[in-house]
Amino acid sequence: METIFSETHKRRNARSELYGGELVEPFERPSRAEYIVERVRSVRLGPVNPPDDFGMQPILAVHDADFVAFLQSVWTEWQAAGFKGEAIPSVWPARRTSTHIPKHIDGLLGYYALASETSISDGTWDAAYASAQVALTGAERLRQGARSVFSLCRPPGHHAALDMYGGYCFLNNAAIAAQHLLDNGAERVAILDVDFHHGNGTQDIFYEREDVLFLSLHGDPMDAFPYYLGHADETGKGAGEGFNVNYPLPPGTDFVTWRKSLQDAIEKVAAYGPEVLIISLGVDTFETDPISFFKLKSADFITYGADIAALKLPALFVMEGGYDIAEIGVNAVNVLEGFENGG
Ligand code: OKP
Ligand code: ZN
């Protein structure tokens, strides 16, 4: 399996994450991607290649143009406002507020943020842009006939919505890849999100559409980030009714239980009959992940990679989360090897 990877991910290197009232080193840090690409190389998964550049158009096909312009200019504007630290929102349009969009960068930041843990600093946009190109290049490889591709995206994307960033995400890489495939001949794409966290951004982007089936297995939002989306009763709207499927799972969920939901999701994907399957691949379901509460073991990642292969669909794996960094390479590549040897 080919891996697409950009060194530009290193430009996303924030100093701080607001966590439990403290500023700590971000869980989502550059070494994550380095460990993964190292593992890809050591098991000889396949060639590792840089992305092509598809420009802004496929990004703007998914995200709000003013939001994207904000992402491009926020760091410069934040500094110009005289702030000394990284850009962290501290105020939000919560309930019963006006729809006017503020001018001051402090207000704009809260307007476009869905959470405050994701500090913005120099290079964030460059890395987010490169990460989207990594996903797009993977999608393009499938169009050229590849059976599977690994888009080693960093920063991740599945929390990024039409016009919101947060949860370590800025641009929704999986959604951008899906839209690119739809805009180039595909009629139906399924996105299976196996990251521990609900893919609220992907759900948001495709909620009223029938050309993308979105399925997500995740920690119950009653107990886990992103808290305000990801319940089982969110099934889509309008033309999209029935094309959004959530599997919220409780603290302590082990592989046997998790796999039952996966099997159900796989059956729904098969019934939908997409041309392509995109997997939002987060390995924060691992038993020792520092911010998550599922109990998957390293060998389970091989097993479920093979389960996904049984669908016999062209597959684009898009990297999302995973924060037990010592094991992130093994766990992510286990899914890919399970897929290649399975089915
Ligand atoms: C990104 B991905 C609140 C913690 C907020 C944000 C988690 C983002 C996960 N105490 N944590 O889905 O792996
Ligand atoms: Zn996650």
pTM over 0.90: yes
Q: Other C-beta atoms within 10 Å of 257: how many?
A: 14
If you measure from the C-alpha of residue 98 to the centroid of ligand 2, how many angstroms do you get, rounded to a whole number? 32
Q: Other C-beta atoms within 10 Å of 217: how many?
A: 26
| Residue 21 falls inside a structural domain | no
| Residue 18 falls inside a structural domain | no
Phi first, then psi: give them for residue 214, nearest 5 degrees.
Answer: -110, 130
Q: Report whether pLDDT(78) > 80.
A: yes
Q: Other C-beta atoms within 10 Å of 42: how many?
A: 11
Phi first, then psi: give them for residue 236, nearest 5 degrees.
Answer: 105, 170
Q: Which residues pair with 193 in a beta bridge?
A: 216, 280
What's the CATH number where 228 sits? 3.40.800.20
Q: In the chain, what percentage of residues exceed pLDDT 70?
A: 100
Number of compact structural domains in the chain: 1
Query: To the nearest whole number, what is the mean pLDDT of the chain?
Result: 98
Q: Report whether pLDDT(100) > 80.
A: yes
Q: What is the pLDDT of residue 290?
A: 98
- Write b or e for each residue in 158-188: b if 16 or more Cβ atoms lie within 10 A of its Cβ, otherwise e: bbbbebbbbbbbbbbbbbbbbbbbbeeebeb
Q: What is the dihedral of CA 71, 197, 224, 307, to 10 degrees?
A: 180
| Residue 221 falls inside a structural domain | yes
Q: In the chain, what percentage of residues exceed pLDDT 90?
A: 99
What would the two tokens of residue 58 be? Answer: 């496929």
Is the Cβ atom of 117 under 6 angstroms away from ligand 1?
Answer: yes
Q: What is the pLDDT of residue 182?
A: 98
pLDDT digits (tens, 9 = 90+) for 253-283: 999 999 999 999 999 999 999 999 999 999 9
Q: Which residues pair with 280 in a beta bridge?
A: 193, 318
159 has catalytic annotation: yes
Whole-number Cα distances in Å, 160 to 2, 171, 239, 268, 296: 26, 6, 22, 25, 26
Question: What is the position in ligand 1's atom list of the atom closest to the CA of 323?
Answer: 13
Catalytic residue among 9, 63, 159, 198: 159
Work out the pLDDT band at 154, boundaries 50, 70, 90.
very high
If you measure from the C-alpha of residue 1 to the centroid of ligand 2, how many angstroms do you get, rounded to a whole number? 24
Using CA positions, which residue lies closest to atom 4 of ligand 1? 225
Residue 315, helix vs strand vs coil: strand
Domain that holds residue 225: 2-12+27-54+123-342
Do residues 266 and 307 touch, judged by C-beta distance below 8 A?
A: yes
Instruction: For a ligand 1 pocket test, name from 29, 154, 197, 216 the mutation site with the most ligand atoms within 8 angstroms of its C-beta.
Output: 197
| Residue 102 falls inside a structural domain | no
| CA–CA gap between residue 216 and residue 202 (Å, rounded) | 10
| Residue 206 falls inside a structural domain | yes
Does this complex have an ipTM over 0.95? yes
Using CA positions, which residue lies closest to atom 12 of ligand 1? 197
Q: What is the pLDDT of residue 258?
A: 99
| Residue 162 falls inside a structural domain | yes
- Mean pLDDT, residues 143-150: 98
- Could you give the angle at which helices 173-182 and 124-143 cross, rounded to 10 degrees? 40
Q: Report whether pLDDT(252) > 90.
A: yes
| Residue 95 falls inside a structural domain | no
Query: For 140, what's the count of Cα atoms within 13 Å in the CB-facing half-sphere?
Result: 13
Q: What is the pLDDT of residue 222?
A: 98
Q: Report whether pLDDT(87) > 80.
A: yes
pLDDT digits (tens, 9 = 90+) for 181-202: 999 999 999 999 999 999 999 9
Q: What is the pLDDT of residue 305?
A: 98
Q: What is the pLDDT of residue 261?
A: 99
| Residue 71 falls inside a structural domain | no
Q: Report whether pLDDT(9) > 80.
A: yes
Q: What is the pLDDT of residue 343?
A: 72
pLDDT digits (tens, 9 = 90+) for 42-65: 999 999 999 999 999 999 999 999
Length of the chain, please?
343
If you measure from the C-alpha of residue 103 to the centroid of ligand 2, how many angstroms do you get, rounded to a whole number? 32
